[in-house]
Amino acid sequence: MPARSSCDALVVGNYCHDELSRASGGVVHTLGGSAAYISSVFDATGVDHAVVSVAGEDFAYADRVRYPPLIIPGTRTTRFIAEFTSVERVLRVGARSAAIRPEDIIFDARVALACGVMAEVLPETLIRMSQHSGQVLADAQCLLRTVDAHGLVRNRPLEDTPFAPLLRHLSVLKASEDEAESLDVAAVRAKTCLVVTRGRSGCSVLTARETLQVPAWPVEEVDPTGAGDCFLAGFTLGLLRAWPLGRCAELANWFGAQAVTQVGVPTLDLSKLPASLR
């Protein structure tokens, strides 16, 4: 095991094999996973970060990631099959990787992101992250997701998960509107900052004392995959700059908007970033 080191942001979550079936026809096979999307934002903005992830022996994108995953012999890489229709995205799981263990967290960080895509961040791993970082941000999918008998991704109520007692370890919990339906919003916001993403309607920042509504940046959507990940990365960037929550959310909305304009992990053009967010 390498010696412990430190960084500004520690990304804890997996790379994936994504299979994107377009409503207009055709299938795209590409690198996916929160670790890939969040790293794209951090790489573009120069954030000093590290990634803790695991993958199977079949991992196909080692040449596309700056921080390679730990390969677990005898296992497969998480594979998501996203089917897009004119009104919704249906998400299935074709394979699941091993879990990220507490002993895999060997970095200290100013901010750590729990961004598992399919239950790979264990409760004890989340606790370990909180012990070695100043703040922990979590994506609700990391806490809520499960798979039914048909391989479809579902969200469990937070109170039915082992993460329910761990909200005190989080500085921020990000959830989509669908995920927020599995939360007791009043109870969550009383314990931590809850940020609910609302697509074209922007996002809501909910704390015990205030509610902020932050509008979206209008763009033409091509593929919604990874928008929440890039949003979370943008919010983290704002926190690292010690910005107030509302401004963090503005920056997060901008990065989330850039993600939906491209298929797969986006290439970001920071020259388009509004001057107010630089």
Strand partners, 52: 12
pLDDT at position 85, please?
65
- Strands (DSSP E) along 106-232, which ranges? 107-114, 133-139, 145-147, 153-155, 172-176, 193-197, 203-206, 211-214
Q: Which residues contact 256 (CB under 8 A, 6 or more apart)?
A: 197, 227, 228, 230, 231, 234
Angle at 273 between CA 272 and CA 276, to 5 degrees: 135
Note the maximum CA span of the chain.
49
- At 225 the pLDDT is 86
Please report the pLDDT score of residue 162 as a whole number.
97
Helix (H, G, I), strand (E, B) or coil at 205: strand
Mean pLDDT, rounded, for 140-156: 94
The count of other CB atoms within 10 Å of the CB of residue 127 is 14
Are 19 and 32 spatial neighbours (Cβ–Cβ below 8 Å)?
no
How does residue 216 score in pLDDT terms, banded at 50, 70 and 90?
very high
Q: Are strands 5-12 and 49-52 parallel, antiparallel or unpaired?
A: parallel
Residue carrying structure tokens 């993403």: 197
Question: Residue 98: what pLDDT?
Answer: 96
d(CA 78, CA 118): 8
For the residues 247-269, what does the mean pLDDT come to? 94
pLDDT at 116: 95
pLDDT score at 86: 57
- Residue 216 φ then ψ, to 5°: -80, 165
Question: How much of the chain exceeds pLDDT 70, in percent?
Answer: 96
The mean pLDDT of the chain is 93
**Tens-digit pLDDT profile for residues 152-172:** 999 999 999 999 999 999 999
Encode pLDDT of 186-207 as tens digits.
Answer: 999 999 999 999 999 999 999 9
What is the tens place of the pLDDT at every residue in 108-129? Answer: 999 999 999 999 999 999 999 9
Give the angle subtended at the CA of 123 by the CAs of 121 and 127, to the nearest 5°. 100
pLDDT computed for residue 27 by the predictor: 85
Residue 1 pLDDT greater than 70, yes or no: no
Burial class (CB in 10 A: 0-12, 13-18, 19+), 35: buried
Query: Does the structure show a pLDDT above 90 at 263?
Result: no
Location of structure tokens 């109870």: 187
Q: What are the pLDDT digits (tens) for 58-110? A: 999 999 999 999 999 999 999 999 887 656 778 899 999 999 999 999 999 99
Collapsed DSSP state (helix, strand, coil) of residue 230: helix
Active site residue 229: yes
Quick check: 193 and 205 in contact, CB under 8 A?
yes
**Separation of alpha carbons 16 and 218, rounded Å:** 28
Residue 50 has pLDDT above 70, yes or no: yes
Site of tokens 């573009």? 44
- Is-contact 202 253, C-beta < 8 A? yes
Catalytic: which of 18, 139, 223, 229? 229
